[in-house]
Amino acid sequence: MKPALTVFTQLASTALILGLAAPAQADGMLMPHLPRQPIAPIREVPNFAIKHHKVKVTIKDQVAETSVDQVFHNPINRELEGTYLFPVPEGAVMSRFMMDVDGKMTSPELLTAGEARRIYEEIVRRRVDPGLLEYAGQNLYRARVFPIPARGDKAMKLGYEQVIERKDTLHHYRYGLSTEKFSSQPLQNASISITIETRQPLKNIYSPSHEISVHRIDDTHATVSWEASQVKPDQDFDLYWSTSTEAIGATLLSFKDGNDDGYFMLLAAPKVEWPAAQAQSRQMTFVVDTSGSMSGEKIKQAREALAFNLNQLTPRDQFHVLSFSDIVNPFTPGLVQAQGQPLSDALRFARGLEANGGTNINEALLTALKTPAGQGVPMLLFLTDGDPTVGVTDFGEILKNVKAANQRDVRLFVFGVGYDVNIPFLDKLAKENHGTSEFVRPNESIETKVSRLFAQISHPVLTSPKLSWGTSSTRDVLPTQLPDVFKGSQMVVVGRYRSPGSQTVTLSGQVNGKPASYSFPNQSFAAGRTPHSFLPRLWASRRIGQLLDQIRLSGQNKELVEEVIRLSKQYGIITEYTSFLVRDEVDVRARADAAPMMQQAEEQFTRSLSEADKGGSAVSQSQNAANLQKQAAPAPAGGGSYLDAEGQTTQVHQVKYVAQRAFYLKNGLWQDSLPAEKLPQLNVERFSPLYFALAQQPGVKDILALGEQVEFVYSGHLLRIADKGQSQLSPEIKNKLKL
């Protein structure tokens, strides 16, 4: 008979007082060891595997209730005991913290940061795993769990309340997902589901750490979700949201380090319940390629996509449909109202489209743009699967003609179908006409992609937007051309600034054809470091995307290439153009303009640009650049990912971004990219007193947590963690390293 479950626990004597505090780190780890034995480096005791991890959070105003379900798996043929560790940042306020292990409730022991540090350091020594150093310096809940059956599972449930961090109208919640990296196997599934209820209307909802799905129920209720499978999360989950009674709410986050120019991000979102009287109508023109190359499945999907989108129009919208091959075939001479007989006739027209003839892109677009103006925001959806073969066929001339004809600032949304379209031409066509471009691979659905975009642009709120930043001396603001604001959307703008201080930011534009302006006073451009340290890397991601677009669409330029390499190297952002940086033989500490670095770069750029016009690689390059430019959150702590020629995601595992610097894995050694050629080198013995003294310095514990082999610049020295080296914290060493 198996022994009954025993949980050894000592109730914390420290009272938890509700109040404003830092966000709580909210996930624990179960460290394995033999029954009644310390956590030791026994070969037969690997880390437990985490099979499932489900988190549900209910946030009402400033109080969050979090419940966690975890299932741990013992991978060996021997009964084990576990020590459950739950790190909590200093100052976090949590109450009603309870654990349910196989139906038995317990209150874990709360240890101070000093006590927790000793436990972490002891585990690091015994298990030869520096990863836990990341959590040193934080308070810690601890409980012992026994038994954990051989090759069996142990289900654990946690529940606690906490007070949400709030600054003015900005709220912040954190869940410490990064401890799941200690799982011996990828998680079968992990999910976070959050329900938010506020008294004031919700505006911006943003995660700098994960790609989230947001469903806005009404102005004061929303749900946020994230889900993944077969993953080992290594980054905490962060969520920000703001409240405002204004029609459009805005929040500015900023970060400045030393004398360097600062970084900022502005989030702006309209209210959900937008009054019907203020809803803007649209002038929708559909231009569909029906040339011979569209025959078969493509023309069938084009018919279905057009019919679906016609049915999504509202009675206040006006529309026009043109099909084209070597000749242009308009449905009507001009715009008609989206209701009654005109709509029924248009649906019959769409279902009767046939594919034959050549491709006269120039004439089709000029005919569409000459349509007499109607009421509402002018938009044009253009779908084609090939290059122009009839009429004007020069790409440059077509671009020039379209730009000259677009006197009404029509938003031109382009869809390229298949691999025979010229990708740079269609990208330029969209960019020069206030629109976007999408590409449909041979194995993808035209209807799905067209319908998804159509849903996003269904309710324009503010058109032709512009931003004024007060006297903050902003620069390198991205995107350079602001997108229209639609109901349910969120504008994300990043940039740099020279002058810190409080400013009034103004967003202006057109609402129903009339000027409108929204002012957001007391927006802080910080004078120093803030919790928003993700901003430099987010800005760098968007800047790299912009530079790659310039190179891809206008040709290779030494200065632009050099800046791409410098930013990619500094921030650990790897693309198909900079993938050479992860090769073992490439010295990432070399200057971006150094001859060996530029030679590698030119070879890689030349190879990529040779495939930038047509085919799968060209589609991926366009999508990669677009993804970087519209990125709302920085790449994960790793080097991120990009699409290969087949559209498959390439994950970059040889790069980590910690402590505001990029580290590259070179021949088993994690090394940062800071210049170190003239610095004295000092070997530090792993797990020695000096090693743990370094771990207590700001940022260093995160660096040491990368692994056993690490090399980094610190206090004017190049430190290398090694089997042998300096071990004692002598006065001379303390002085050298300023410890």
**What pLDDT digit, counting tens, does each position of 625-647 carry?**
999 998 887 766 677 889 999 99
Same domain, 239 and 256: no
pLDDT of 4 > 70? The answer is no
Helix, strand or coil, per DSSP, at residue 375: coil
Mean per-residue pLDDT, 201-210: 93
State the DSSP code for 252.
E
Of 181-185, 275-279, 546-550, highest mean pLDDT: 546-550
Q: Which of 596, 621, 656 is at the close of a domain? A: 656
Is the separation of the CB atoms in 18 and 74 below 8 Å? no
Q: What is the dihedral of CA 597, 598, 601, 607, to 10 degrees?
A: -140
Q: Which residues contact 649 (CB under 8 A, 6 or more apart)?
A: 641, 642, 643
Backbone angles phi and psi of 107, in degrees to 5: -110, 115
For residue 521, tell me if it sits in a domain: yes
The residue that leads in pLDDT, 481 or 131, is: 481
Grade residue 95 by pLDDT with cuts at 50, 70 and 90.
Answer: low
Mean per-residue pLDDT, 363-388: 93
Is the separation of the CB atoms in 398 and 434 below 8 Å? no
Grade residue 22 by pLDDT with cuts at 50, 70 and 90.
Answer: very low
The residue that leads in pLDDT, 402 or 112, is: 402
State the DSSP code for 265.
E
Mean per-residue pLDDT, 507-525: 92
Task: Tell me the residue range of the domain where 601 lies.
Answer: 535-656
Same domain, 330 and 436: yes
d(CA 574, CA 582): 8
Question: In whole angstroms, how far apart are CA 53 and each of 71, 417, 554?
Answer: 7, 40, 47
d(CA 707, CA 129): 7
d(CA 726, CA 585): 28
Task: Write down the pLDDT at residue 125.
Answer: 74
Same domain, 13 and 126: yes
Task: Write down the pLDDT at residue 123.
Answer: 76
Nearest to 187 by CA among 5, 45, 78, 29: 29
Copy the structure tokens of residue 310. 């016609």
Is the separation of the CB atoms in 13 and 154 below 8 Å? no
Number of domains the chain contains: 5
Task: Write down the pLDDT at residue 634.
Answer: 73
Same domain, 299 and 364: yes
Task: Write down the pLDDT at residue 389.
Answer: 95
Copy the structure tokens of residue 655. 């790069």
Q: CA-based angle 700:704:238, to the nearest 5?
A: 70
Task: Write down the pLDDT at residue 17.
Answer: 21
Q: CA-based angle 507:513:518, to the nearest 5?
A: 20
Match 């639609």 to its residue by tokens: 486
For residue 530, tell me if it sits in a domain: no
Residue 248 identity: I
Q: Which of 424, 456, 488 is at the close of a domain? A: 456
For residue 667, tell me if it sits in a domain: no
Same domain, 451 and 580: no
Residue 20 identity: L
Please tell me the least confidently modeled range out of 177-186, 279-288, 306-315, 546-555. Answer: 177-186
pLDDT of 5 > 50? The answer is no
pLDDT in tens, 315-369: 999 999 999 999 999 998 889 999 999 999 999 999 999 999 999 999 999 999 9
Task: Write down the pLDDT at residue 94.
Answer: 64
Q: Which of 525, 559, 582 is at the close of a domain? A: 525
Same domain, 265 and 180: no
Same domain, 254 and 350: no
Same domain, 304 and 319: yes
For residue 218, tell me if it sits in a domain: yes
Same domain, 402 and 466: no
For residue 150, tell me if it sits in a domain: yes
Task: Write down the pLDDT at residue 373.
Answer: 84
Residue 713 identity: V
pLDDT in tens, 219-229: 999 999 999 99
Question: What average pLDDT is seen over the chain?
Answer: 87
pLDDT in tens, 54-85: 999 999 988 898 888 888 898 888 888 888 88
Task: Write down the pLDDT at residue 172.
Answer: 92
d(CA 310, CA 356): 23
Task: Write down the pLDDT at residue 270.
Answer: 92
227 forms bridges with which residues in the sheet? 191
Copy the structure tokens of residue 576. 């198909």
Copy the structure tokens of residue 592. 């971006």
Task: Write down the pLDDT at residue 472.
Answer: 82
pLDDT of 96 > 70? The answer is no
Find the CATH number of the domain harbouring 214. Answer: 2.60.40.3680
Task: Write down the pLDDT at residue 177.
Answer: 86
Same domain, 543 and 521: no
pLDDT in tens, 126-144: 766 777 777 766 777 888 7
Residue 707 identity: G
The DSSP annotation for 17-50 comes to --S--PPPP---EEEEE-TTS-S---TT-PPPEE
d(CA 249, CA 304): 37
Task: Write down the pLDDT at residue 27.
Answer: 65
Sign of the torsion formed by the C-alpha atoms of 694, 696, 701 and 705: positive
For residue 661, tell me if it sits in a domain: no
d(CA 409, CA 378): 7
Q: Report the 10 Å Cβ neighbour count for 153.
A: 14
For residue 670, tell me if it sits in a domain: no
Same domain, 718 and 585: no
pLDDT in tens, 252-284: 999 999 999 999 999 999 988 877 667 788 999
Mean per-residue pLDDT, 398-410: 96
Task: Write down the pLDDT at residue 236.
Answer: 87
Same domain, 238 and 323: no
Q: Which residues contact 288 (CB under 8 A, 6 or more apart)?
A: 302, 306, 321, 322, 323, 324, 353, 383
User: Of all helices (H) and strands (E), which one includes residue 340?
Assistant: helix 340-351
| Model confidence, pTM | 0.88
For residue 41, tell me if it sits in a domain: no
Find the CATH number of the domain harbouring 260. Answer: 2.60.40.1230
